[in-house]
Amino acid sequence: MADTARDSFPDEAETAFTLDEYIEGMEAVELEADLVLGGDDGKDCTYAGGYLKRQAVFSCLTCVPDGVAGVCTACSLACHDGHEVVELWTKRKFRCDCGNSKFGGHLCKLCPEKDSENSANAYNHNFKGSYCTCGRPYPDPEAKEQVEMIQCSICEDWFHGDHIGLNSIEEIPGDEEGEPLYEEFICHKCSPVCHFLKLYPDTIWASGKQNLVLQTDASDPNAMEKPSVPEEANLGSSSGSNCKLGMDVNTMPAVTDKSEPFFMSKGWRETLCRCETCINFYAQRGIAYLIDKEDSIEEYERIAKQKREKKLEQQQGAATNFLNSLDHVQKMEMLSGINDMKNEFQSFLESRDTSKPITSEDIRSVFENLDKKKKQRLS
């Protein structure tokens, strides 16, 4: 959900960078934003699209203090600019509430004709700006350091690593640098609903640390062994009445052991059986979305990347057309201006006092210097 806060400001040697590095950094920020927003350009309200399988959602506590409403990206910008808005990242099967009966007569500026309520929307305490079992806000004003949170793929709440039922956060699958080695996370509160996953091979679990869930603790009298899959199970395919598991998933013993979080490996959803019995089982438990490819964050981000690439191609094409419309003198003048700007910004960054914030006067000085260079070049 967020990066770990830095303990101190970087030293002067770290602040010097080139314009290319600055542009590269900006492109990385834009890519991250596109992935979160799903490539949404924020121009149109998504209400007309109905309950979207996944979209970025925001909660406006200025308009709905109780946190029982959510708005799309476009409405967060057009209708709630300057309000106390909570960014919720993405939610599944959600329809924009902006301007409906929960907003006290304030109509949506982009799509004023809406039903009074979206009955199929689901809201949790995230919409009030609270997260995890501890119910703390993010960022947490009382925390000495803002730590990273992880989102459950079932309830979609966000959790601190030390509040998910583990003995230590070291048990979370990660590499030596702390980067996650799992694709999706199922919290300890939701794992009983997904207990059937223990019928599947170990390959669906992320790294060896998942043994917490899969192995029996001999010292725990309440622990339950991983159910065995019949020999006739065919984990390679499923259709109609042909179940991958070779058994009726409804006959699986009830959960009696301690609830533990699940950390799932890449592509684990593709392993899930899609026979008629299992599909009905998912539906009864309210988790049928697990076999919908478009529900996953991976697919959501893949589509976002495609939209971004298309947008960049269009921008590049527009830039090329513009350049082709210029004569030689105009092209040389533009290139000189770009070079002056690069040099001026680099000079500013290398000479500024890093202990002081950048002010509007600093920016004004940069552009005044650029204007002087232009006049000198044209004189």
pLDDT band at residue 256 under the 50/70/90 scheme: low
Q: Are residues 40 and 141 in the same domain?
A: no
Q: Are residues 75 and 34 in the same domain?
A: yes
Domain boundary among 102, 128, 154: 128
- Please give the Cα distance from 307 to 51 (Å, whole number): 20
Q: Is the pLDDT of residue 96 over 70?
A: yes
Q: Are 201 and 235 in contact, with CB atoms under 8 Å apart?
A: yes
The pLDDT of residue 1: 59
Q: Would residue 356 count as lying in a domain?
A: yes
Q: How many other CB atoms are found less than 10 A from the CB of residue 28?
A: 10
pLDDT tens sequence across 168-183: 999 999 998 888 999 9
pLDDT tens sequence across 16-58: 445 456 556 666 767 677 777 777 888 999 999 999 999 999 9
Spatial CA neighbour of 77 closest among 108, 115, 105, 101: 108
Domain boundary among 128, 147, 175: 128
Tell me how far apart the 2 most distant CA atoms of the chain are, in Å: 89
Domain boundary among 266, 292, 318: 292
Q: Are residues 142 and 288 in the same domain?
A: yes
Q: How many other CB atoms are found less than 10 A from the CB of residue 255?
A: 15
- Please give the Cα distance from 21 to 75 (Å, whole number): 33
Q: State the pairing for strand pair 52-60/85-94.
A: antiparallel
Q: Is the pLDDT of residue 142 over 80?
A: yes
pLDDT tens sequence across 225-239: 555 555 545 555 666
Q: Would residue 18 count as lying in a domain?
A: no
Q: Would residue 43 count as lying in a domain?
A: yes
Q: Are residues 54 and 149 in the same domain?
A: no
Q: Which residue has the higher pLDDT, 174 or 350?
A: 174
Q: Are 198 and 226 in contact, with CB atoms under 8 Å apart?
A: yes
291: which 2 tokens? 């076999």
Domain count, the chain: 3
Strands (E), 130-199: 149-151, 158-160, 184-186
Mean pLDDT of 199-216: 68
Q: How far apart are the first and last CA of the chain?
A: 53
- Please give the Cα distance from 249 to 283 (Å, whole number): 13
Which residues constitute the domain of residue 368?
Answer: 328-378
Give 151's strand partners. 158
Q: Would residue 218 count as lying in a domain?
A: no
Phi first, then psi, for residue 262 (nearest 5°) are -110, 140
Q: Would residue 309 count as lying in a domain?
A: no
Q: Are residues 113 and 59 in the same domain?
A: yes
Q: Is 129 left (phi over 0), alpha (psi -120 to 50) or beta?
A: left
Q: Are residues 288 and 338 in the same domain?
A: no
**Residues 6 or more apart whose Cβ sits within 8 Å of residue 164:** 150, 187, 188, 261
Question: CA separation (Å) from 248 to 234, 245, 307?
Answer: 13, 8, 42
Q: Are residues 106 and 164 in the same domain?
A: no
> What percentage of residues in the chain have a pLDDT greater than 90?
53
pLDDT tens sequence across 323-337: 778 787 777 777 777
Q: Are residues 118 and 32 in the same domain?
A: yes
The pLDDT of residue 235: 59
The average confidence (pLDDT) of the chain is 83
Q: Are residues 105 and 32 in the same domain?
A: yes
Q: Would residue 318 count as lying in a domain?
A: no
Q: Is the pLDDT of residue 292 over 80?
A: yes
Q: Are residues 191 and 273 in the same domain?
A: yes
Q: Would residue 6 count as lying in a domain?
A: no
Q: Are residues 168 and 122 in the same domain?
A: no
> What percentage of residues in the chain have a pLDDT greater than 70?
81
- Helix residue spans in 325-359 (DSSP H): 328-351
Q: Are residues 108 and 145 in the same domain?
A: no
The pLDDT of residue 225: 52
- Please give the Cα distance from 159 to 165 (Å, whole number): 11
Q: Would residue 101 count as lying in a domain?
A: yes
154: DSSP letter: T
